[in-house]
Structure 1
Amino acid sequence: MSTEITSPAAQPDDGSASGGRTNIETRSIDWITPEERHGTPWKVSPLFFIANWSFFTIALGFTGPSLGLSVGWAILGSALGLLVGTFFMAFHATQGPRLGLPQIIQSRAQFGFYGVIVVVAMSLTCYLAFGVVYTILTAQGLAQIFGWSPVVIGLVVNIAGGLFAIAGHDALHRVSRLVFYVTVPLVVIFTVAVLTGHAGGSTPPADSHGFVASAFFSVFAVSAAYNIALAPVVSDYTRYLPARTSSRSLIASVYVGAGVSALWLIALGAWLSAHYNASDALVALHDAGNSVFGGFGAVLALASAATLVVCTATAAYSVTLQFLTGVDLVKRVKPTRTLRVSVTAATIAIYLVVAIPFGDHVINAASNALSLMLFLLVPWTAVNLTDYFFIRRGEYAITDLFTPRGVYGGWSWRGIVAYFLGFAAMVPFAVLPFFTGPIGNWLGGIDISWLAGLLVASLTYFAFTRGLDRRAERAAVSESDEQLDDVTQAPSEVGHRPPLEYGLLEGKG
């Protein structure tokens, strides 16, 4: 039983990832060959912009005012948090073009072929929870505004999102650009109305909000974690870019996309919370929009819901890659188009089965799961980025990532121990909905656990890897590159090239 790194079928002239026969992507957790690469750094920016461009992000803006911060302080805390969190997330983008692999597959280099199960379990739970939350919020919000059936809304959102996820990588980028061009002008109009005093709402009492240190740092931590949550999937959407893509341009593209949209809507959310005393983001957006002119609120609500269709699609797409990575640890799988489509359909079914019947009964559990998963992501991103930029400097034996007997082994104690040490360092500082550590309590609810996790995980991993046999790894990298060149340069027959077996290195000691 072995999976294959295959060269593609003959590609269409537009360089799409579909494989040339249908509009459905052929790839999943396998390597993207040079002839399939296409696109430019700034074309990926809309997808990461839309990832945060919904009333889910507006609701995040409610956090500051609800804890006693003024709108100004809430926006500042969010801006600083996003400045830090987006920094770590955006740097993962460079791994996609360099390696041509999903983010989780690349993590095998730090944790080992089997050790990556730690990351798979964490990210899989996180993105399943995201899909459930998106479904519940959209179904309940639109039902409350328009009186529509939550079941029908949930079905429409998930079926539409599922179809985009099934179509795959290029379709997700195209629909993100479409939604970007349609919705941004609408929010610009609303923002101008807010700034000019034409969006309604009441003026909060002058002494009702101000600066609260614990609230400020909570907003900072939540905002930083919000974009760090994208880290395990960034390369999923950059892996089709040409290998020579400018790292600086790509980092800037992802940073601007994810950072600007999040800060923009968080700022609007803070304003809505303070001026409308709102508890439901979509309803508040609808009411404020109608204050600008009649019917505009409905347009804004539908536009925001449309972005969650895209968010649901990207979550399902990445869940599929993560699930297949996990299954591959137990039983080697051939990553066919049919398998990816089947798992995507099952993921959408899970979203529906959990969200529609249970609704509010699971929203708190899902939100708490997200808080915990975001907490667990910090030491992973520290280990992954330290390895990529400071230890191996982007040099990986790609074929060895698909076998436990390759140069990275089945279990890599360095990454696993560094991860759990980083996690342990965070616990005393933690301020979570269901747990507050002793230092977090002593600091009055100020959450700096993310800083402890980043420092401990990155520094310990850096220290542990001082003893790595880099000479052996460089030999493996050269051998891997030669094998991949053989695949891409082999004569094609009826539009197909011979496969390179994942299990080809099984006999390697």
Structure 2
Amino acid sequence: MVDPTGATRSRQPAPGENPRSGPVLETRSIDYIPQSERHGRAWHQAPFWFTGQFVPTTMVVGFAGPVMGLSLGWSITTTVLGILFGTCFMAFHANQGPTMGLPQMIQSRAQFGTRGALVPMLAVICVYIGFSAFGVLLASQVLETVLPGSTTLWAVVIVLLAAVLAIVGYDLLHTVLRLLPYLVVPVFGILTVLALTHLSPHHDPRTASFTWAAALAQFVAAAGYQLGYAVYVSDYSRYLPADTSGRGVIGWTYAGAALSAIWLMVLGNFVASSVPVPDALVNLQDIGDTLFSGFGKTAVVAVLVPSAIAIMGVNLYGAMLSGLSIVHAFRPIALTARTRVVGVATGAAVVFAVAEGLPGKYLDSFNDFITLILYALAPWTAVNLIDYYFVRRGHYAITEIFSPDSIYGRWGRAGLLSYALGVAALIPFMTTGFYTGPMVDALDGADIAFVVGLVASGAAYFLATRGFDPAREQEAIRDSRNLLDGPGAVVRSVPRAAG
């Protein structure tokens, strides 16, 4: 049968029927989650996002300041500020999941148009692929040191296991990420105590200094890493009941994501300030071996490999959702289990190819990658959040998001122009390993590009939509609600934003 979002589907559970007693494989993808299939609690977001950040690559982000000569105190300060700033944008997307019942990026059709949304979606797919490739590289290198077989062999194993998680889908991913802390937290706890006990920060004057360039580099790295997760958030909150507290889902998401990031990035600050050459895997192994010989390698395997597989599963799941959203905008397709499998498999193949092409020494390229994430996603998150909280205030006609003749249009002029303006505005302020904008020298090397992008795109979209009249969409919203859940459905509204 065909549901109101245009997907050709098999029978779905009736109201009151437990959807989790059916097939093991998740049947939904980019389509709307009916109220009868909603489940879970807001607090589930905290362990999910805590584990989502609790990997050695998060620790690497804390290396940025110290390797540029920033003192430990200033490195920690700018790291924490960056985390608090970047997580704020990420967490406020969590409210969109229960309200709209849709994956994160397909919601962008309301701002960018049903086809225009491919612009931010293409950038987002690069995020999924990039994070996954770095994870595969790290995990395969570690496994090669403890087990027979090449990094290529272990990369294949890791990618296949992650693909299975993504194919089974939402509930399995939530379960795995809620259970992993029982393994990784105790091990990382031991490593942290050992690091604090056996390492001492350098006292060389060159590493006890402050420069705006180094401080902002660390801030940007931390904020960009956190903001990069904004594109995932409602993918994993969209099954929550529609009456889930907005404050609760935002708060639990923020708490989980910020806590693990603060722990590991600050540990990265400390380690990088205390060792001759910052290298996450080598440093963690050396720290672990201060307990007894061989513990370091065992600890790294225990914290890295399971987490890398789980997080890659999350990434492949997101890449599949964004990929199907792009294809569906130009050629309506049946959103079946087979389509999901093809989408995940395609993403897995791309991740494997990228991981095989990455250099073994990934630190510089990883930090540049995080910075580019912030540059690409800051304008998108500004447009998306301004629309959700200040323009349409959480009220959308969900069926129109899937309609070829949508009230949101095929190409959303306001969203696309605002995004383009934000990207154009930040280019002169960019600083990466391969490009430095003309305004960077005038600011003594300081990188404020992401702030410029946020402000420029957000302000542009707010001004462009000042004449928006919500009344002209109300009929479509009412029709959409009736089609999706019937006249008696609970449809959650969004509190009116301050100002």
Same fold (TM over 0.5): yes
Tell me the amino acid that sits aligned with residue 422 of structure 2: G
Tell me the equivalent position of 1:122. Answer: 123
Hey, what's the Cα distance between the residues in 2 that align with 1:400 and 1:232?
Answer: 21
Give the match's secondary structure for 2:465. Answer: helix
Residue deviations 1:108-133 (CA, integer Å, cap 9, x gap):
10011111011111111221122222
Hey, what's the Cα distance between the residues in 1 that align with 2:348 and 2:12?
Answer: 28
Tell me the equivalent position of 2:220. Answer: 221
Residue deviations 1:401-436 (CA, integer Å, cap 9, x gap):
001312111111111111111111111211122211
Give the match's secondary structure for 1:439. Answer: coil
Tell me the amino acid that sits aligned with residue 68 of structure 2: L
1:9, distance to aligned residue in structure 2 (A): 2.6
Structure-2 change in CA distance of 1:22 and 1:277 (3 Å): farther
Hey, what's the Cα distance between the residues in 1 that align with 2:399 and 2:147?
Answer: 53
Tell me the equivalent position of 2:278. Answer: 279
Q: Does 1:104 align with 2:105?
A: yes
Structure-2 change in CA distance of 1:481 and 1:15 (3 Å): same
1:353, distance to aligned residue in structure 2 (A): 2.8
Q: Does 1:209 align with 2:212?
A: no
**What's the TM-score once normalised by structure 1's chain length?**
0.89
Tell me the amino acid that sits aligned with residue 388 of structure 2: Y
Structure 1 spans left out of the alignment, 5+ residues: 490-509
Residue deviations 1:362-419 (CA, integer Å, cap 9, x gap):
9577765554333110000000000000011100000000013121111111111111
Hey, what's the Cα distance between the residues in 2 that align with 1:308 and 1:229?
Answer: 17
Q: Does 1:300 align with 2:303?
A: no
Tell me the equivalent position of 2:496. Answer: none
Tell me the equivalent position of 1:173. Answer: 174
Aligned runs of 1:76-475 on 2, under 5 Å? 76-144=77-145, 149-195=150-196, 197=197, 200-201=198-199, 203-210=201-208, 211-302=210-301, 303-356=303-356, 358-360=357-359, 368=368, 371-475=371-475
Residue deviations 1:230-252 (CA, integer Å, cap 9, x gap):
11111101000001111111111
Which 10-residue stretch deviates more, 363-372 or 378-387?
A: 363-372
Tell me the equivalent position of 2:51. Answer: 50
**What's the TM-score once normalised by structure 2's chain length?**
0.91
Q: Contact conserved, 1:428 with 1:437, CA < 8 A, in 2?
A: yes
Which 10-residue stretch deviates more, 62-71 or 436-445?
A: 436-445
1:15, distance to aligned residue in structure 2 (A): 5.2
Tell me the equivalent position of 2:494. Answer: none
1:325, distance to aligned residue in structure 2 (A): 0.4
Structure 2 spans left out of the alignment, 5+ residues: 490-499
Residue deviations 1:55-97 (CA, integer Å, cap 9, x gap):
1111111111100012221111110001110000100000000
Q: Contact conserved, 2:395 with 2:477, CA < 8 A, in 1?
A: yes
Residue deviations 1:425-464 (CA, integer Å, cap 9, x gap):
1112111222111222221221111111111111111111
Which 10-residue stretch deviates more, 422-431 or 396-405?
A: 422-431
Which 10-residue stretch deviates more, 86-95 or 420-429?
A: 420-429
Which 10-residue stretch deviates more, 434-443 or 33-42?
A: 434-443
Hey, what's the Cα distance between the residues in 1 that align with 2:142 and 2:8?
Answer: 44
Q: Contact conserved, 2:224 with 2:370, CA < 8 A, in 1?
A: no
Q: Contact conserved, 1:108 with 1:401, CA < 8 A, in 2?
A: yes
Structure-2 change in CA distance of 1:11 and 1:212 (3 Å): farther
Tell me the amino acid that sits aligned with residue 266 of structure 1: M
Q: Contact conserved, 1:190 with 1:292, CA < 8 A, in 2?
A: no
Hey, what's the Cα distance between the residues in 2 that align with 1:362 and 1:342?
Answer: 32
Give the match's secondary structure for 2:39. Answer: coil
Hey, what's the Cα distance between the residues in 2 that align with 1:12 and 1:191?
Answer: 49
1:309, distance to aligned residue in structure 2 (A): 1.0
Give the match's secondary structure for 1:229. Answer: helix
Give the match's secondary structure for 1:291. Answer: coil
Structure-2 change in CA distance of 1:207 and 1:217 (3 Å): same
Tell me the equivalent position of 2:497. Answer: none
Hey, what's the Cα distance between the residues in 2 that align with 1:166 and 1:473?
Answer: 36
Tell me the amino acid that sits aligned with residue 107 of structure 1: S
Give the match's secondary structure for 2:444. Answer: coil
Give the match's secondary structure for 2:407. Answer: coil
Tell me the amino acid that sits aligned with residue 173 of structure 1: H
Give the match's secondary structure for 1:73. Answer: helix
Tell me the amino acid that sits aligned with residue 83 of structure 2: L
Tell me the equivalent position of 1:497. Answer: none
Tell me the equivalent position of 2:12. Answer: 9
Residue deviations 1:299-331 (CA, integer Å, cap 9, x gap):
320122221111111110000000000101221
Structure-2 change in CA distance of 1:361 and 1:142 (3 Å): closer
CA RMSD in angstroms, aligned pairs only: 2.4
Tell me the amino acid that sits aligned with residue 481 of structure 1: R
Q: Contact conserved, 1:81 with 1:220, CA < 8 A, in 2?
A: yes
Structure-2 change in CA distance of 1:295 and 1:80 (3 Å): same
Q: How many equivalent pairs are there?
A: 483
Tell me the amino acid that sits aligned with residue 165 of structure 2: F
Hey, what's the Cα distance between the residues in 2 that align with 1:466 and 1:140?
Answer: 53
Structure-2 change in CA distance of 1:444 and 1:292 (3 Å): farther
Tell me the equivalent position of 2:495. Answer: none
Hey, what's the Cα distance between the residues in 2 that align with 1:244 and 1:280?
Answer: 46
Tell me the amino acid that sits aligned with residue 351 of structure 2: Y
Q: Contact conserved, 1:114 with 1:404, CA < 8 A, in 2?
A: no
Structure-2 change in CA distance of 1:269 and 1:338 (3 Å): same
Q: Contact conserved, 1:54 with 1:305, CA < 8 A, in 2?
A: no
Structure-2 change in CA distance of 1:11 and 1:447 (3 Å): farther
Structure-2 change in CA distance of 1:458 and 1:86 (3 Å): same
Q: Contact conserved, 2:61 with 2:367, CA < 8 A, in 1?
A: no
Hey, what's the Cα distance between the residues in 2 that align with 1:12 and 1:380?
Answer: 36
Give the match's secondary structure for 1:107. Answer: helix
Q: Contact conserved, 1:68 with 1:209, CA < 8 A, in 2?
A: yes
Structure-2 change in CA distance of 1:393 and 1:3 (3 Å): same
Residue deviations 1:338-363 (CA, integer Å, cap 9, x gap):
1101211221122223323x341895
Hey, what's the Cα distance between the residues in 1 that align with 2:472 and 2:292?
Answer: 67
Q: Contact conserved, 2:391 with 2:468, CA < 8 A, in 1?
A: no
Q: Contact conserved, 1:7 with 1:488, CA < 8 A, in 2?
A: no
Q: Contact conserved, 2:69 with 2:214, CA < 8 A, in 1?
A: yes
Structure-2 change in CA distance of 1:456 and 1:37 (3 Å): same
1:14, distance to aligned residue in structure 2 (A): 10
Give the match's secondary structure for 2:207. Answer: coil
Residue deviations 1:139-192 (CA, integer Å, cap 9, x gap):
224435667521222122111111111110110010011111211122222223
